[in-house]
Amino acid sequence: MKLRIDAELCEGHGRCWDLLPELVDADDHGHGFLIDIHASVPPELEQKAREAVRACPERAVTIE
């Protein structure tokens, strides 16, 4: 499972990095970004990743 954040859709609500700080951080404007864009979501964080996807109002966070 891989997580993606579409920077053009993100409006900086912060829900993704609030729910999943292990994989997501925020820039100076509050927009979420993946700490390691090449990393897979570890099995123990898969549920939190799904919650971050559901929490994004712009649907900028997706799972592959």
| Interval 25-53 mean pLDDT | 96
Q: Which residue pairs, CB below 8 angstroms and at least 24 apart, start in 25-33? A: 31/7, 32/5, 32/60, 32/61, 33/5, 33/7
Q: Percentage of the chain surpassing pLDDT 70?
A: 100
Name the pTM for this structure: 0.90
Residue 41's pLDDT is 97
Provide the pLDDT confidence category of residue 51 given band limits of 50, 70 and 90.
very high
Per-chain mean pLDDT for the chain: 96
Split at pLDDT 50, 70, 90, the class of 17 is very high
Domains in the chain: ranges and CATH: 3-63 (3.30.70.20)
Helix H, strand E, coil C: the string for 2-62 is: CEEECCCCCCCCCHHHHHCCCCEEECCCCCEEECCCCCCCCHHHHHHHHHHHHHCCCCCEE
